[in-house]
Amino acid sequence: MKLGIIGKPQSGKTTIFNAAGAQHQAVGDFSQAVHRAIIKVPDARLEALAELVHPKKITYAEIELLDAPGLSGKGKEAAGLEINQELRQMEAFIMVVDAFSPDAKPDADIHNVIDELVFLDQVLVESNIEKRERKTKLTGDKHEQHEIELLRRCLKFVEEGKPLIELNLTEDELRPLKGYMLLSLKPLLIVLNIAEDQLPEAASIEQKYRHLVQAGRRELAVVCGKIEMELVSLGADERGAFLTDLGIATPAMDVVVQRSYSLLGLISFLTAGEPEVRAWTIRKGTNAQKSAGVIHSDIERGFIRAEVTAYNDYVTLKTPAAIKAAGKQRLEGKEYVIEDGDVILFRFNV
């Protein structure tokens, strides 16, 4: 999963990047520097399985984080501004919003940044419609016409100031749009970056902004980036104790990961063998055969069946023999829809 961090200058993007990715980049220097990190998705289930299986290694799912400037946050005034090209390739955006400084205007900032994404899409769609119309005049290509109509529908929508993700396009309509890497088509995790002394009100602040959430399109998290960034250099135990003292139930790293997973409709299935205990990321609703392809295309191609045990059954019963004796290992075919936490052994033949 690739997540891009966006937001107004000095909103705490790099601070959140450090907190969520256990990184140590300089903050507050107005540098607008670009940072990248690969973070491991925390998953206690893997450690529990490893206790039972004693694998050579544990492999966590990974998330790519990109902290890159590019948005001035001035909305439509910022017409000349281009967004970092790499950000366009991300699957979702984490929008960091300043809610910590004395003159913070989180509501206005959220609207500004969304406006700006929509506006940049408008410019892109407009110029592509023109380009394509010129081309069809020359070639008379009917196929192009289809795409032009789709782009016109998008244009009408963004002209009304609405993010494209709200247009509810079908898979078939989304496919030809992929190449444009439209910004307002990406799911958005809004991170309200609050001050240290606001921590006791974190829950009520979250409640106040809850209306922004749209299932599968927009998520919300309230985080104090500054404190969490300072805690990433501590050991897990010490950190846990500090977080409890501060009344933080879930650390920023986990919040960002969990909310991004739910935003993108992602789940994990697990494999537990002696060489490796591992988490694999798939979209919710993916069937067993397709999921096998995430491990290797040969396993998808030669798929015979999946031997599936729910994670809870696995850790309760502990051994393959006990699992089988209790009738908790299911044999599933190609069309079985994988559930989060399924521990799977794929049988295949190529």
Ligand X SMILES: Nc1nc2c(ncn2[C@@H]2O[C@H](COP(=O)(O)OP(=O)(O)OP(=O)(O)O)[C@@H](O)[C@H]2O)c(=O)[nH]1
**Residue 75 touches ligand X, criterion: CB under 6 A:** no
- Site for ligand X contains 281 (CB under 6 A): no
Report if residue 193 touches ligand X, rule: CB under 6 A: yes
Instruction: Read off the tokens for 52.
Output: 């039972």
193 neighbors 98 (Cβ within 8 angstroms): yes
Of 98 and 121, the one with the shorter C-beta distance to ligand X is 98
Q: Which residue from 5, 8, 14, 157 is in contact with Mg ion, where contact means CB under 5 A? A: 14
Helices (H), ranges, the chain: 13-21, 44-53, 85-88, 106-139, 142-159, 171-177, 202-209, 225-231, 236-246, 252-264, 288-295, 297-301, 311-317, 320-325
Nearer CB in complex with Mg ion: 7/341:
7
The torsion region of residue 140 among left (phi > 0), alpha (psi -120 to 50) and beta comes to: left
Longest dimension (CA), the chain: 71
Using the contact rule CB under 6 A, the part of the chain among 30-38, 81-89, 141-149, 296-304 near ligand X is: 30-38
Stretch that binds Mg ion, among 8-16, 49-57, 139-147, 296-304 (CB under 5 A): 8-16
**Which residue among 100, 261, 269, 346 contacts ligand X (CB under 6 A)?**
100
DSSP notation for 55-121: -SEEE--EEEEEE-------GGGGTT----HHHHT-SEEEEEEEESSTT--HHHHHHHHHHHHHHHH
Q: Is 200 in the site for ligand X (CB under 6 A)?
A: no
Q: Is 34 in the site for ligand X (CB under 6 A)?
A: no
Question: Quick one: which of 183, 188, 180 has its CA closest to 116?
Answer: 183
Count of residues near ligand X by CB under 6 A: 20
- Please identify the residue of the shown chain whose CB is closest to the bound ligand X: 28
11 contributes a contact to Mg ion by CB under 5 A: no
Our finding on whether 224 is near ligand X (CB under 6 A) is yes
Q: Interface residues with ligand X (CB under 6 A)?
A: 7, 9-15, 27-28, 30-32, 69, 100, 193, 195, 224-226
Footprint on this chain of Mg ion (rule: CB under 5 A): 13-14
